[in-house]
C-alpha cells in the first residue's frame, strides 16, 4: 500500500507538516516549533511551557567592543513565512527575519532565514538556517547560536549520548531552590530533596554532558510509556566552529536537547564572532535531523531505541551532503571538491626514516596562522583522520580558499601547508606526500605525559563523596565529576606537587590540573610544582637546552618557569593566558598552547636539578592550567645523542 505523501496545512497562526508518521506544528510567521505529534502522543514538546519556549533557534549577541562572553539573548522570531517546496515527496518552509537600520541596537544585525523540511516516509524532520551580514551594516559580536528542544518532563526521563554515557535523569523540578543547593556556579546543583529519592546526594550539571564535535553525532531522550525516542542527529561538522575537538553542550536535565552550532564554552572570548562595520558574511548552519523512533514490539526494551538511533545517524552521515535542501546557498555534492594526500612526520631523534602520520587529524579551514583552525569561527571546516600509513581524503568541500592543517597524536605542535588550496566543484586535488617536522632541537632527556592535547592520562582523583554523579563512577571520563579542582588541596594540604623523573608515575603522581589551593578561610593561593631530575654529566654551558610545555587548557592563569632557584626572576612567563573555563566545566582540554623555553646550559648542574612551574597569583578556584605534555631536550651536540 503506497505511503501517505507530505501534506502542508497553513493556518492563521500556525503551519502543520504531516507525512502520516508525525505531525510538526510551527508558529506562523515566527518559525518556532510548538508541537510534535508522534506514536499516539499529542505533543512530545514541553506542553507546560509557553509555545515560544518549546523548540527554537536562538542566539546571544552584543554590541561591538563589548567585553566578556555575556550578551543579549534572542529567541529568533521570524517576521515572514514562505513555502519553498510543496509536493508529496517534500515540503520545505522558510521563516525569515530581515534586518533594517530602524532595528539598530535592538536586534542583531543579521538577516536570518530558518528552514524546515519534511520528507515522505521520514520519521523526523530537518532544520537549517542561513545567517547573513551585509557589508554596510553595523559591527557586532556573536557569542553563541543553537537549536533548542524542550521535551515533556512527564514523558522523557532517560538520556543517551554515547554507549557509556546514558542514564535516567533527575527532573527539572529537582533543581528548584527548595530541592537543591547551588554549588560554585548556577549550572551545578546538589540534589538534596529530589522527587525521585534515587538522585538524592548527586550533582546535576549540564556541563558534565559536553562532547567534542567529532563525537557529537547523535544524542537525545527515551520515553518508556509508550516507548519513544527523540534524537538530534548532526551528520557533519562543516558548519560548526573551531574544529573537531571543540566541545559543546548536548542534552541535559529539562529534558532538553541542543544542537549547538557555535559557542564560546571551553574557549572563552577567543571564539567570539566579531564582525566589523565593513564586513560581509554569509553562512549556512545545518541541516540537522530530528529523528523519532518507537518499538513495534510492545514487549521490547526501550533502550534498544538508542541502537536504532545510532544506525539512523550512520545513514544520515552516509547521505551527507543532502540532495534535498532547496536553498541555493547549500551546495550539492557535485558542487563540491575533494582533497587527498599523505602526511609523514620527520623527527630525526625518533626515527631516521619518515614516519607515517598514523591517526593524524587533517583538515581544511580558512587561511590563517599555524593552529588557527581551533579558534576559527566564521568559515567552514572539513576534517578527516589519516589511516595507519598517513593517507587521508577530505571529501565534499565547499569551493573557496583554505589552508591545510593537521596535528599528529604522539607529536607536539601543528602542521600547516602554507600554499592556499582552492577546491573546485567536481574536482579532486591530490597533494602528494606532505612532511611535518615537529618542534625539536635535540634528543629527549625526559618527558611527562602523552602529546594528545588532553590531560586525561594524568591523575584524576575521585570526587568528594558529597559531589558525585553516579554515571562517572569508575568511568573512562571520570574527569567529568564536579569539584575535582578542590581535591588538589585535599591531596596537597601543605606542600605542592613534586615530580621526580625516573621515579614518579605521571598517571598517579601528576595531578591533572595545576590549580590554586583553597585555604581554610575560603581564599585561594597560587601553587608551585617541581620537576626533579638528574643529569649524569655536566651540562654544556655554551649550549641551550629546550623545555617544551604543551598545555591542554588554561584559565586566567600565568605560568612562570624557573630553574634551580625558586626565588629568582622567572626564566619564562606566559603572561595571563586563557579564559577557557575548562576546569570548572569538566572538559579535560580547551585551547591548545605550546611554549618553548630555552634553558642556558650554565643554569643546569651535574646531578640534581629542579624546574619550578609556578602560578604566582590566585583569583578564583577555577584558575589553572592543564598540561598536555612536557619534554626537556638536550642540545643537538649532546654526547651519545648524535643524529642517527
pLDDT of residue 638: 65
Kindly indicate the confidence band of residue 4, based on its pLDDT and cuts at 50, 70 and 90. Answer: confident
∠ at Cα 257 (60, 317), nearest 5°? 100
Average predicted confidence (pLDDT) for the chain: 95
Cis peptide before 321 (omega within 30 of 0): yes
Burial of 265 (0-12, 13-18, 19+ CB in 10 A): buried
Q: How many degrees, rounded to 5, is the angle at CA 145 between CA 143 and CA 150?
A: 130
Average pLDDT over residues 294-321: 94
| pLDDT at position 641 over 60 | no
Rounded CA-CA distance 411/643 in Å is: 18
Walk me through the domains of the chain, giving residue ranges and CATH numbers: 7-319 (2.70.98.10), 333-436 (2.60.40.10), 444-633 (2.60.120.260)
Q: What percent of the chain has pLDDT over 90?
A: 90
- Rounded CA separation 255/518 (Å): 35
Tell me the per-residue pLDDT of 554-577, one tens digit each, with 9 for 90 and over.
999 999 999 998 778 999 999 999
Cell 567529568 sits on residue: 480
At 602-623, the pLDDT tens digits run 999 999 999 999 999 887 888 9
Estimate to the nearest angstrom the gap between the alpha carbon of 169 and the chain centroid: 22
The pLDDT, as a whole number, for residue 538 is: 86
- Is the pLDDT reported for residue 60 higher than 50? yes
- Grid look-up 514487549 returns 299
Torsion of CA 312, 315, 317, 322, to 10 degrees: -110
Distance (Å) of CA 502 to CA 377, 412, 499: 42, 22, 9
Indicate whether 3 pLDDT > 80. Answer: no
Looking at the chain, the whole-number percentage of residues with pLDDT higher than 70 is 98
What is the rounded average pLDDT of the residues 284-308?
93
Which residues are CB-neighbours of 578 under 8 A, at least 6 positions away? 268, 553, 554, 555, 556, 557, 590, 591, 593, 625
- For residue 123, what pLDDT is reported? 98
Which pLDDT tens digit goes with each residue over 168-215? Answer: 999 999 999 999 999 999 999 999 999 989 999 999 999 999 999 999
- Mean pLDDT to the nearest integer, 56-81: 92
What is the per-residue pLDDT for 156? 98
Determine which helix (DSSP H) or strand (DSSP E) holds 631, and give its type and residue range.
strand 624-633
User: What mean pLDDT comes out for the span 26-30?
Assistant: 98
CA distances from 375 to 23, 372, 483, 580 (A): 39, 6, 27, 12
3 state DSSP class of 208: helix
Average pLDDT over residues 421-437: 95
Q: What is the mean pLDDT of residues 31-38?
A: 98
pLDDT above 60 for 592: yes
Number of helical H runs and strand E runs in the chain = 3, 43
Residue 372 confidence (pLDDT) above 80: yes
Q: What's the pLDDT band for 634 if we cut at 50, 70, 90? A: very high
Query: What's the burial of 170, exposed, middle or buried (CB within 10 Å: 0-12/13-18/19+)?
Result: buried
Q: Is the pTM of this model over 0.85?
A: yes
pLDDT score recorded for residue 631: 98
Confidence of residue 299 (pLDDT cuts 50, 70, 90): confident
User: Does 642 have pLDDT greater than 50?
Assistant: no
Q: pLDDT of 330-348, one tens digit each? A: 999 999 999 999 999 999 9
Amino acid at each position: 500500500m503506497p505511503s501517505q505523501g507530505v501534506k502542508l496545512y497553513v493556518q492563521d497562526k500556525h503551519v502543520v507538516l504531516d507525512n502520516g508518521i508525525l505531525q510538526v506544528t510551527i508558529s506562523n510567521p515566527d518559525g518556532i516549533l510548538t508541537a510534535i505529534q508522534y506514536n499516539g502522543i499529542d505533543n512530545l514538546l514541553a506542553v507546560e511551557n509557553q509555545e515560544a519556549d518549546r523548540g527554537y533557534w536562538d542566539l546571544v549577541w552584543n554590541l561591538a567592543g563589548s567585553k566578556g562572553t555575556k550578551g543579549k539573548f534572542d529567541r529568533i522570531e521570524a517576521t515572514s513565512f514562505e513555502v519553498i517546496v510543496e509536493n508529496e515527496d517534500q515540503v520545505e518552509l522558510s521563516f525569515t527575519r530581515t534586518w533594517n537600520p530602524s532595528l539598530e541596537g535592538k536586534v542583531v544585525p543579521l538577516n536570518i532565514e530558518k528552514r524546515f523540511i519534511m520528507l515522505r516516509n521520514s520519521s523526523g524532520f530537518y532544520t537549517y538556517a542561513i545567517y547573513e551580514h551585509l557589508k554596510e551594516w553595523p559591527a557586532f559580536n556573536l557569542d553563541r547560536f543553537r537549536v533548542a528542544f524542550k521535551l515533556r518532563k512527564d514523558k522523557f526521563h532517560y538520556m543517551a549520548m554515547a554507549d557509556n554515557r546514558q542514564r535516567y535523569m533527575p527532573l527539572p523540578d529537582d533543581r528548584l531552590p527548595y530541592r537543591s543547593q547551588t554549588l560554585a556556579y548556577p549550572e551545578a546543583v546538589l540534589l538534596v530533596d529530589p522527587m525521585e529519592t534515587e538522585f538524592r546526594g548527586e550533582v546535576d550539571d549540564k556541563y558534565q554532558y559536553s562532547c567534542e564535535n567529532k563525537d557529537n553525532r547523535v544524542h537525545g531522550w527515551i520515553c518508556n510509556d509508550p516507548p519513544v525516542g527523540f534524537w538530534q542527529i548532526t551528520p557533519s561538522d562543516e558548519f560548526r566552529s573551531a574544529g573537531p575537538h571543540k566541545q559543546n553542550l548536548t542534552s541535559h536535565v529539562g529534558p532538553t536537547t541542543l544542537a549547538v552550532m557555535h559557542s564560546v564554552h571551553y574557549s572563552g572570548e577567543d571564539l567570539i564572532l566579531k564582525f566589523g562595520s565593513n564586513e560581509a558574511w554569509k553562512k549556512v548552519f545545518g541541516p540537522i535531523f530530528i529523528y523519532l523512533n518507537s518499538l513495534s514490539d510492545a514487549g521490547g526494551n526501550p533502550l534498544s531505541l538508542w541502537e536504532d538511533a545510532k544506525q539512523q545517524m550512520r545513514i544520515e552521515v552516509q547521505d551527507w551532503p543532502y540532495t534535498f535542501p532547496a536553498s541555493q546557498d547549500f551546495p550539492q555534492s557535485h558542487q563540491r571538491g575533494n582533497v587527498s594526500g599523505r602526511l609523514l612526520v620527520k623527527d630525526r631523534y625518533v626515527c631516521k626514516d619518515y614516519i607515517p602520520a598514523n591517526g593524524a587529524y587533517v583538515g581544511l579551514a580558512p587561511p590563517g596562522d599555524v593552529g588557527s583552525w581551533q579558534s576559527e569561527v566564521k568559515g567552514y571546516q572539513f576534517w578527516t583522520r589519516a589511516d595507519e600509513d598517513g593517507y587521508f581524503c577530505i571529501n565534499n568541500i565547499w569551493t573557496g580558499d583554505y589552508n591545510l592543517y593537521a596535528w599528529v597524536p604522539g607529536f607536539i605542535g601543528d602542521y600547516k601547508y602554507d600554499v592556499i588550496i582552492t577546491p573546485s566543484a567536481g574536482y579532486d586535488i591530490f597533494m602528494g606526500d606532505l612532511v611535518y617536522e615537529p618542534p625539536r632541537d635535540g634528543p629527549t632527556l625526559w618527558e611527562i605525559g602523552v602529546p594528545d592535547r588532553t590531560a586525561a592520562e594524568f591523575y584524576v582523583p575521585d570526587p568528594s563523596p558529597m559531589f558525585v554523579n553516579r554515571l562517572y563512577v569508575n568511568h573512562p571520563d571520570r574527569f567529568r565529576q564536579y569539584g575535582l579542582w578542590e581535591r588538589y588541596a585535599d591531596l596537597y594540604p601543605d606542600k605542592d606537587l613534586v615530580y621526580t623523573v625516573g621515579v614518579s608515575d605521571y598517571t598517579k603522581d601528576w595531578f591533572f590540573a595545576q590549580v590554586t589551593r583553597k585555604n581554610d578561610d575560603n581564599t585561594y593561593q597560587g601553587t608551585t610544582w617541581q620537576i626533579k631530575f638528574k643529569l649524569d654529566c655536566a651540562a654544556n654551558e655554551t649550549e641551550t637546552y629546550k623545555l617544551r610545555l604543551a598545555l591542554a587548557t588554561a584559565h586566567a592563569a600565568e605560568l612562570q618557569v624557573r630553574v634551580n632557584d625558586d626565588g629568582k626572576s622567572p626564566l619564562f612567563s606566559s603572561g595571563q593566558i586563557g579564559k577557557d573555563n575548562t576546569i570548572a566545566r569538566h572538559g579535560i582540554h580547551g585551547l591548545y598552547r605550546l611554549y618553548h623555553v630555552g634553558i642556558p646550559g650554565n643554569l643546569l648542574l651535574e646531578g640534581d636539578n629542579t624546574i619550578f612551574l609556578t602560578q604566582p597569583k590566585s583569583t578564583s578556584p577555577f584558575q589553572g592550567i592543564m598540561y598536555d605534555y612536557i619534554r626537556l631536550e638536550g642540545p643537538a651536540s649532546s654526547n651519545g645523542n648524535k643524529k642517527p
